[in-house]
Chain A
Amino acid sequence: MSHQDKHWKKDFPINRSQANQVSRRDFAKLLAVVSGGMVVGNGVIAAKAAFFNEPKNEKKQKICAKNEIPVGGTKSFVLENDTVPYILIHTEEGEFYAYEQKCTHLSCAVYYKPGTLTIECPCHNGWFDVKTGNVIQGPPPRPLKKLDVTFEGNAIYVQHPKNETV
């Protein structure tokens, strides 16, 4: 078969050396495009911070009575007009703490481990201090979001800390 009979060369007329050089040029251009994508991503975060930074509802909300949660026990709840799950913990020291029940690593549900004063994320073995919400060990990068707990008589109220934003 002669060289002229190779019809596929008409369909794919790119020679090898040209194709190689084009691919490196295109790769360099692609890197610039991805670089633009990074700017857009960063811009979205900056825009959200500048224009959609609504303060959280700081209204106090009643959760339950003190005697409804046994020592070492917990109660899950959701605030009004919200879908984020929270957990109210009654520690062995008699204190009450409320945290968002989403691990700061990959949003798994966290649980209080009775008797240890620690909150556990079972997905990747993350641990938080029940008093502060700080990370004790594991992959979570940030402390758990905490709610302020107050009491009126026997009732337990929670509210978002002041100046916290969405």
Chain B
Amino acid sequence: MSNFRTTQEQAHPQKKSMIMSALITVLLVNLLLQIWLLYTALNNALEGHPEVAYSTFIASFVLFLASVLWLYFLPEKVN
């Protein structure tokens, strides 16, 4: 008995590649946002507003959790 993923892969052999590309793109966007948050935290800390770092830390942590959960959707390795 085939499941949804198996049927989809048979219908669209390129689907895994597309999924992988989409996953990596989203991970990269998350990472870019985190770089921006880190830059903002550092710049504000040097400018005398270190409290900005608390909110950027929370936002960065949420993005990190999203990135880790995102890995769940990675296509399985072909044996």
Cα distance, A123 to B63, chains bound together (Å): 37
Cα distance, A24 to B30, chains bound together (Å): 17
Please count the residue pairs between chain A and chain B whose beta carbons lie under 8 angstroms apart in the complex. 97
Verify B78–A25 contact, CB threshold 8 A.
no
| Chain B residue, CB-CB nearest to A142 | B47
Q: A53 CB to closest chain B CB, in angstroms?
A: 6
Cα distance, A49 to B46, chains bound together (Å): 11
Count, chain B residues at interface, CB 8 A:
35
Verify A43–B71 contact, CB threshold 8 A.
no
Verify B24–A31 contact, CB threshold 8 A.
yes
User: Could you say which of B20, B43, B56 contacts A24, with CB atoms under 8 Å apart?
Assistant: B20
Cα distance, A43 to B71, chains bound together (Å): 23
CB neighbours (8 Å) of B50 from chain A are: 45-46, 48-49, 53, 165
Cα distance, A48 to B43, chains bound together (Å): 14
| Chain B residue, CB-CB nearest to A32 | B67
